[in-house]
Amino acid sequence: MLIRIKRLGEMPSSEITDHQVYLNRRQFLNGVAIAATATVLPGSLASAATDPVPTFNNLTKSPFSTSETPTPFESVTSYNNFYEFGTDKSSPALLATEFPDKTKPWRVTIDGECDNPGDYDYDDLIRPFTLEERIYNFRCVEGWSMVIPWVGFPLADLIKRAQPNSRAKFVEFTTLYDPEQMPGQRRGVLDWPYTEGLRMDEAMNPLTILSVGVYGQELPGQNGAPIRLVVPWKYGFKSIKSIVRIRFVEQLPATAWVKAGPREYGFYSNVNPNVDHPRWSQSRERRIGDFLKRETEMFNGYSEHVAHMYTNMDLKKNF
C-alpha cells in the first residue's frame, strides 16, 4: 500500500482541526487518561500538572498591548503549530512537555554583518533586558486567532547591542535542529532547520519582540521555549520558535515556508485580508473561543504602527 504523507504546503484549511472539535477530543482523551492506571501515563505528563512553573516578577503592561480579553491559558498552551513536534495541533503540547528542561543550558549565536558578534548563554543574552520585560497583549493570527500576553523585550534592543553594519539589510533566524528531542524533524515536511527572516526596519519596529514567557511564566516547550520571535502584524509562522541563531545578512534569506511553498507563503506574510491563500480566503478569521468568524484586519489591526514600512509597496505581489 502506498501511503502519501502531505507536505507542508499541501494542507488545505478544511483539514485544520476546528478548535472546539479539538477541545472536545481533548476532554474525551483526558477522561480516558483519568480512568486509566497511573502507570500507563508517561512521567512527563503525570507531573506536568503539578510541577511549579517559574514566574517573572514586576511585569508591566506594554503601551502597545490591545485591550481585548486574552485567550485562556489552556488554549494558548494546548492548540499550537510547532512542526518540530508534529503537524497536529495537539502534538506540541504532548511531545514538548520535557523540552523546557532540556533548554538549559541554551546558547544563541549572533553573527553575520555586525560589529559585535558573539555566542551567548541564554541568561547572559537576556540579562541586560531584564528591566525591559513587559507583558505584550498581542493579537496573533495563524489560520485561527488568539490574544496572547507575551513576556518579552524589543528585538531592536538586542540588534543595537549587536551593532549591525551598513551591509545588514535583513535579519535571519534559525531554530534548534535536534531530531532526537524534536521528533517532527525526522519527517521531511520542511527543509530543517526551520529558518525565518525580517527586513531590518521590520526587525527594528517596537512591535517586534523576543518573547521569553507567556502569562507571566516561562515559555512552555510547545510555545517555543526558551526564546522566540513575535511579530504580531504577520501570520504566525513568521514568529520563529526556539531560536539558536540570529544572523545579519545582505540578501533576502531563504526561509522555511518560502522554500516549502513559494506560491502560497511569501517572505513578508503580512496579515492582509485582500490577499487570499491560493486555496482559501483570508478575509475572515475565527478567534479561539468565538463561534462566528470576524473580519480580518489589515496588518492584524496594527496599521498605525507598521503601515509606513510598506508605503508604495505592492502588497499583493510582495505577499
Q: How far apart are CA 110 and CA 246, in angstroms?
A: 5
Q: Is the dihedral of CA 107, 108, 111, 116 positive or negative?
A: negative
How many C-beta neighbours within 10 Å does residue 31 have? 10
CA dihedral (52, 54, 58, 59) in degrees, to 10, reads: -110
Report DSSP state, residue 6.
P
Question: What does the pLDDT profile of the chain (319 residues) look like in tens digits?
Answer: 333 334 334 443 333 445 454 444 444 344 333 333 233 323 333 333 334 466 888 889 999 999 999 999 999 999 999 999 999 999 999 999 899 998 999 999 999 999 999 999 999 998 888 766 789 999 999 879 999 999 999 999 999 999 999 999 999 999 999 999 999 999 999 999 999 999 999 999 999 999 999 999 999 999 999 999 999 999 999 999 999 999 999 999 999 999 999 999 999 999 999 999 999 999 999 999 999 999 999 999 999 999 999 999 999 999 9
3-class SS of residue 316: coil
Domain boundaries, the chain: 52-310
For residue 133, the model assigns a pLDDT of 73
Instruction: Tell me the CA end-to-end span of the chain in Å, nearest whole number.
Output: 39
Can you give the pLDDT at residue 17? Answer: 44
Residue 255, number of CB atoms within 10 A of its CB: 23
Give the distance, in angstroms, between the CA of residue 134 and the centroid of all CA atoms in the same chain: 18
Handedness of CA 162, 163, 168, 170 (dihedral sign): positive
Render 160-182 in DSSP notation, one character per residue: HHH-B-TT--EEEEEE---TTT-
* Residue 25 host element (H or E): helix 19-35
CATH class of 52-310: alpha beta
CB 152 within 8 A of CB 136: yes
What's the rounded Cα separation, in Å, for the pair 232 and 250? Answer: 24
Q: Strand, helix or coil at 129? A: helix
The number of helices, as runs of H, and strands, as runs of E, in the chain is 9, 13
Residue whose C-alpha is closest to residue 302's, from 171, 141, 153: 141
- For the four alpha carbons of 225, 228, 231 and 236, in that order, the dihedral sign comes to negative
Q: Distance between CA atoms of 193 and 83, rounded to whole angstroms?
A: 11
Quote the Cα angle for 285-290-291, to 5°.
90
pLDDT, one tens digit per residue, over 82-128 is 999 999 999 999 999 899 998 999 999 999 999 999 999 999 998 88
Sort 104 into a burial class: Cβ within 10 Å, 0-12 / 13-18 / 19+. Answer: exposed
pTM of the model: 0.85
